[in-house]
A and B are shown apart, each in its own frame.
Chain A
Amino acid sequence: MSLKRIALLALVVVLLAACGGAKTEAPAAAPETAAPAASDQIIVGLITKTETNPFFVKMKEGAQAEADKLGVKLLTGAGAKDGDNEGQVTALENMINAGAKGILITPSDTKAIVPSIEKARAQGVVVIALDTATDPQEAVDALFATDNFKAGLLIGQWAKSAMGDKAPVIATLDLQPGITVGAQRHNGFLQGFGVISGADPNSSDLVNADVVVCSQDTHGDQTEGQTAMENCLSKNPDINLVYTINEPAAFGAYTALKNAGKEKDVLIVSVDGGCKGVQGVVDGQIAATSQQYPLKMAELGVKAIVDYIKGGAKPSGYTDTGVTLITDMAQAGVDGQNSAYGVANCWGTK
């Protein structure tokens, strides 16, 4: 009996060892070296936070279109869910092993991914962060992203003007603690609204003000957004301005307000500008949103990597991929576009 087990174990070991032996026959394929892949095919990797979020689907479309245009191969991967750092690490390792020379990544955990990115760069792989900066930002070669602080600032300024003389009672439906994007949008909003000043645009800590009577985490999820809004309303029924981390959270908040019969008295502002989100502006559920352009981020990212591999300059620094305020209630002194523009340009579709 025991002999049989040992034989089985040995088989597994032999299998692994045999494969290890196979490696020496193809030393050129070793991933540790920055030498070009066995075939001259250029491979670019794209790692998003999740597979399913429409934002990342759009990003993937942009990357794929650009890769097809440039004739390079695109590998994609994602974490199991938002916040799954290990899943992204695994995808990163696999792509490098597959011969990718450049990786685009939207870090799920801005700090946790850093050591793995450093390892990748040490192997000669160029890494560009999309949408979300790593912490520190210099951990990657370049960042192609929305200025999330500015995105918050825009809706803050707009809301200030739209509220006029009304005393603000604010609820913020945030992302989750410790994530830079969430803090940037939140802090930008409050600064634009004029209740805080001099906030660090790169901080991952939420700043709060007295007029904010309720802050809840929603993980950017519609159902959680609704629950959060319900809780906020029971805490303070006089809320008249709601900041939301993204449009799903905004829709959740709208449902809660509508159920409470308050949807006419409350302004909801948000960030993203997704096609469905902008439709919310058209329908009057969301008063204003800051539109960002994931398709463009991915497009630019793929191009920058391919250019570099073909002998161009190494991508570096921060590239603002732009943000536009979308609202049908334009306020003097706040630049923006109407919802028709928003629909036409949602997340960068042409």
Chain B
Amino acid sequence: MSAVVSTVTKRRSSLLSIVRGSPVMGPLAALILACIFFSFKTDRFLTGANLSLILQQVMVVGTLAIGQTLVILTSGIDLSNGSVMALGGVVMTSLAVDHGLNPVLAILLGILVCILFGVMNGALVTGIRLPAFIVTLGTLNIAYALTRIYTTETISGLPSLLLFFGNTFKIGTTQITYGSVLMLVLYAITWFVLRSTPAGRSVYAVGDNPEAARLAGINTTRVLIGVYTTAALTYGIAALLLVARTGVGDPQAGQTSNLESITAVVLGGTSLFGGRGTIIGTLIGALIVGVFRNGLQLMGVESIYQVLITGILVIAAVSIDQLSHRK
């Protein structure tokens, strides 16, 4: 993955060429600078507890962003992920609470619902060759409506198994959420798959040029359906993490998650035109958003400024990407 797309040049004369050297460097530099800034501004920022909290706060959007990265790498986009996650979360909680189903089965069925949406997205994108934007705009509304038809009630009183990933364990004196660890593990797996498996290579190839990929012997239909389905699996896992984090099944959840996950992907240096980007970048992108939100709040800055800064960061990230690829 990242190794695949990095253009290793020996040009180190300017900031831009450093960014060009590795697509992760720019976002990483931004993250480190933000961390340094906030640790000077507030003594509560650079504590294990707070950093663990940031990780916990990005675990839902961070997990959604894994799927979003896969989709964007194929030059698609997935607007439906937040709604699909909300549906999955409501399904798994209501099955467990209202229908008394075995929690493990309830979780699996919730994730399965998400996966079905992924298959549907993939089938529409490849079968009828509709633009991903349109398809997922449609499934966004379908999932949203189904959630509301299914229940308007927030589901609480969950069995402990559904809350497991919200629990913590201690490293030293720092409490770490199991969910954050799961998210990091998912990133590691995705990183490996993109870098070291034929499927991962195919994702980049299809994103770069679908016709060239087909003529190179790649089954582009299978790759795309696989990508949308795998992405939906991450949405299902994100649903489980959301449920564990908030302790309820919330039919109103995830309404802005699609844009938040796209923000993380873009901040991480992945091109919306497909074929170029890294999963580690996305993790960094998600952390950047989390660090700013947390740091500004600790400083007592109003949350509307977090939105403002996120907007500026997105434009800055894309501009740097554009400039660094201009000759």
Is A bound to B?
yes
Q: Interface segment, B51-59, B110-118, B122-130, B203-211?
A: B51-59
Chain A residue contacts of B154, Cβ below 8 A: 109-112, 135, 178
Q: Which of B47, B195, B242, B304 contacts A26 (CB 8 A)?
A: B47
Within 8 A of B (CB), among A1-46: 1-2, 4-5, 8-9, 11-12, 15-16, 19-24, 26-27, 29-32, 38
Q: A75-B297, A99-B44, A115-B246 are in contact. Are A85 and B22 (CB under 8 A)?
A: no
By the criterion CB–CB under 8 Å, are A15 and B35 in contact?
Answer: yes
Tell me if B198 is interfacial: C-beta within 8 Å of chain A. Answer: no
- Given A84-B256, A91-B297, A109-B252, does the pair A1, B3 have CB atoms closer than 8 Å? yes
B217 within 8 A of A: no
> What residues of chain A lie closer than 8 Å to B246, measured between beta carbons?
85-86, 89, 112-113, 115-116
Partner of B52, one of A20, A89, A90: A20
Which B237-270 residues sit within 8 Å CB-CB of chain A?
Answer: 242, 245-248, 250-253, 255-256
The answer to whether A98 has its CB under 8 Å from any CB of chain B is: yes
Say yes or no: B303 contacts A77, CB within 8 Å: yes
Chain A residues with CB under 8 A of B284: 12
Contact string against A for B residues 284-299, beta-carbon threshold 8 Å, 1 for contact and 0 otherwise:
1000000001100110
Residue of B nearest to A1 (CB): B3
Whether A115 contacts B248 in the complex (CB less than 8 A), given A23-B174, A83-B255, comes out as yes
Beta-carbon contact of B248 and A112 below 8 Å: yes
A-B contact count (CB 8 A): 165
Judge if A51 is at the interface, Cβ distance under 8 Å: yes
Contact of B55 among A16, A38, A74, A112 (CB under 8 A): A16
B195 touches A86 (CB 8 A): no
Interface status of B17 (Cβ within 8 A of chain A): no
In chain A, positions 73-107 with a C-beta closer than 8 Å to chain B are 73-78, 80-81, 83-86, 89-91, 93-95, 97-99
Residues of A within 8 A of B252 (CB): 83-85, 108-109, 112
- Indicate which residue in A23, A73, A112, A113 contacts B300 across the interface (CB closer than 8 Å): A73
| B91 interfacial contact with A, CB 8 Å | no
Contact among A2, A9, A31, A76 with B302 in the assembled complex (CB-CB below 8 Å): A76
The one of A27, A81, A109 in contact with B256, judged by C-beta atoms closer than 8 angstroms, is: A81
C-alpha gap A21/B51 in the complex (Å):
11
CB pair B43–A26 under 8 Å, yes or no, is: yes
Verify A111–B248 contact, CB threshold 8 A. yes
Does A154 lie at the interface of the complex (its beta carbon under 8 Å from any beta carbon of B)? Answer: no
A96 to chain B, nearest CB (A): 9
Contacts of A23 in B (CB 8 A): 47-49, 172-174
Q: Does A177 contact B (CB under 8 A)?
A: yes
Report Cα–Cα, A93/B47, bound state, in Å: 14
**0/1 per residue, A265-283, Cβ < 8 Å to B?**
0000000000000000000
Known A20-B52, A115-B246, A115-B247; judge A177-B44 contact (CB<8 A): no
**Measured CA separation A21–B49 after assembly (Å):** 10
* Contact assessment for B250 and A112 in the assembled complex, using a CB-CB cutoff below 8 Å: yes
Cβ-defined contact, A76 with B303, below 8 A: yes
Residues A91 and B152 in contact, CB atoms below 8 Å apart: no
Q: Does A114 contact B (CB under 8 A)?
A: yes
What's the Cα separation between A116 and B300 when bound, in Å? 21
Across the interface, do B148 and A94 meet the contact criterion of CB distance under 8 Å? Answer: no
Quick check: B3 and A22 within 8 Å, CB to CB?
no
Q: Give residues 60-84 of A contacting B (CB, 8 Å).
A: 73-78, 80-81, 83-84
Question: Taking beta carbons and an 8 Å cutoff, which residues of B are in contact with A?
Answer: 2-3, 6, 8, 22, 24, 28, 32, 35, 42-44, 46-53, 55-57, 60, 148, 152-154, 156, 171-175, 188, 191, 195, 242, 245-248, 250-253, 255-256, 280, 283-284, 293-294, 297-298, 300, 302-304, 307
Q: Which 3 A-B pairs have the closest CB atoms?
A: A115-B247, A23-B48, A111-B154
Q: A20-B171, A112-B154 are in contact. List 4 more A-B contacts (CB 8 A).
A: A5-B280, A9-B191, A80-B256, A115-B248
A→B interface (CB under 8 Å): 1-2, 4-5, 8-9, 11-12, 15-16, 19-24, 26-27, 29-32, 38, 51-52, 73-78, 80-81, 83-86, 89-91, 93-95, 97-99, 108-116, 135, 177-178
